[in-house]
Amino acid sequence: MAGVSAVYDREGEHIGWKVSVRKKGFPPQFKTFRTKADALAWAAVVESEMVRGVWRDRSESESTTLKECLARYATDVLPERKDGGRHGASFLLQWQGRPIASRYMSSIRGQDVALAIKDMEAEKKSPNTIRLHLALLSHLFTVARKEWGMENLSNPVELVRKPRLPQGRDRRLIGDEETRLLNACSKMNPEIAAVVRIAIETAMRQGEIMGMTWAMVNLPARTVMLPDTKNGTRRIVPLSTAAVEVLTKLPSRLDGKVWNYTQDGLKAMYRKAVARANIDNLTFHDLRHEATSRLFEKGFNPMEVSAITGHKTLQMLKRYTHLKAEDLAKRMG
């Protein structure tokens, strides 16, 4: 049975109503409202849920703000990610600075998330960046519901429309761009040229290439074993004759790494090489796109290509597959 009592401040002024719900088999529930009607309405809902066996304790979600949950997420969840939470940390800090962060978890609705999306669009964030922000928030609500005692929560991110992603890039090497790029790389540092050639020959991601050690490379078998890829699975990448030639010519290192450059160092050098080669709008990831397309042009089927590139679904693979029309015309006869 619900009990309602008036609440007064230190000066004796009436400021609200405290309601309590006590039912056998359930922990006592207390909450304060400004009006008696709101207090009784809340109590009626709680009692009804208890009777129907669908009640979930709201005390944790009604007393914890999103900002507090974000801080706990930073401590408990982000460090477990493969990158140590490096990328997620920036998204988390931005969520902490938004008005929604001051809201209690139980009060956050889809429209609150939708307003945050509009703010991010006004800040000129790209659709993909906004989606990454939303992915972190969505995962936080999932963790809070499953692990932090907030079983009553619904996920407000699931209720909003996500920004539409632009069509995937289909940039490929044109004309003599490959020769110009490799020449520019060679003049700066032969190792940069070697990295670019490996990217074009293997379709490996930049992080996968730069994380290579000689222990992963089996030149007699012409393979590179990637123990921990972006998708969280082990993958063995076959090496073409050209890729084997590149790796064979590299000097050995005492620390077992294949490359002297770090990933950040490579990024800077690659940008300079593209500029020196007078090539417009060619990212390092475009080389993976080029390599994947070449695999199809060599006659590999989708399943074979996915085994080489590590794409999880054929739909994901389709984004990277833009075959040259002139090559297809030759095969048509």
- As a CATH number, domain 177-332 is 1.10.443.10
Active site residue 322: no
The pTM of this model reads 0.60
**How wide is the angle at C-alpha 299 spanned by C-alphas 295 and 304, nearest 5°?**
65
CA distances from 271 to 97, 118, 120, 184, 266 (A): 33, 33, 28, 11, 9
Identified catalytic residue from 31, 58, 288, 289 = 288
Under a CB-based contact definition with an 8 Å cutoff, are residues 150 and 56 in contact? no
The 10s digit of each residue's pLDDT in 185-227 is 999 999 999 999 999 999 999 999 999 999 999 999 999 999 8
- 326, exposed or middle or buried, with CB in 10 Å at 0-12, 13-18, 19+? exposed
Identified catalytic residue from 56, 230, 298, 324 = 230
Active site residue 270: no
Domain ranges of the chain: 2-55, 63-159, 177-332
Under a CB-based contact definition with an 8 Å cutoff, are residues 120 and 133 in contact? yes
Active site residue 161: no
Active site residue 109: no
Identified catalytic residue from 67, 103, 180, 285 = 285
261/211 Cα distance (integer angstroms)? 10
The tens-digit pLDDT sequence of the chain (333 residues) is 688 888 888 888 888 888 888 888 777 877 888 888 888 888 888 888 778 776 776 777 888 999 999 999 999 998 887 665 677 888 999 999 999 999 999 899 999 999 999 999 999 999 989 999 999 999 999 999 999 988 888 899 999 999 987 776 778 899 999 999 999 999 999 999 999 999 999 999 999 999 999 999 999 999 999 987 776 678 899 999 999 999 999 988 888 899 998 888 999 999 999 999 999 999 999 999 899 988 888 888 888 888 888 887 777 776 655 555 666 566 665
Active site residue 133: no
Active site residue 261: no
Identified catalytic residue from 133, 197, 205, 235 = 205
Contacts of 63 (CB under 8 A, 6+ apart): 104
Under a CB-based contact definition with an 8 Å cutoff, are residues 36 and 17 in contact? yes
Which architecture does CATH list for 63-159?
Answer: Orthogonal Bundle (1.10)
Going across the sheet that includes 235-238, the strands are 217-218, 223-226, 235-238
